[in-house]
Amino acid sequence: MNYLVFKLSMPHCGSWNNKWSLENENFTIAKRFRKCDFEKLPNIVGKYHEYRWDDGWTAVVNVQHLTNSKDVKQLTKNSKGFCGYDWMIDSLLKFGKIMPEQEQKKYMKGE
User: Does pTM top 0.85 for this prediction?
Assistant: yes
Q: How far is CA 78 from the centre of its chain?
A: 17
Give me the phi and psi of 32, to 5 degrees please.
-100, 140
**By three-state DSSP, how is residue 4 classified?**
strand
Cβ–Cβ under 8 Å, residues 80 and 28: no
Question: For residue range 20-74, what is the model confidence (pLDDT) as tens digits?
Answer: 888 889 999 999 999 888 888 989 998 889 999 988 889 999 999 999 999 999 9
Q: What is d(CA 58, CA 12) in angstroms, rounded to the nearest whole number?
A: 5
Rounded Cα gap, residues 76 and 66, in angstroms: 12
60-101 per-position pLDDT tens digit: 999 999 999 999 999 999 999 999 999 999 999 999 999 988
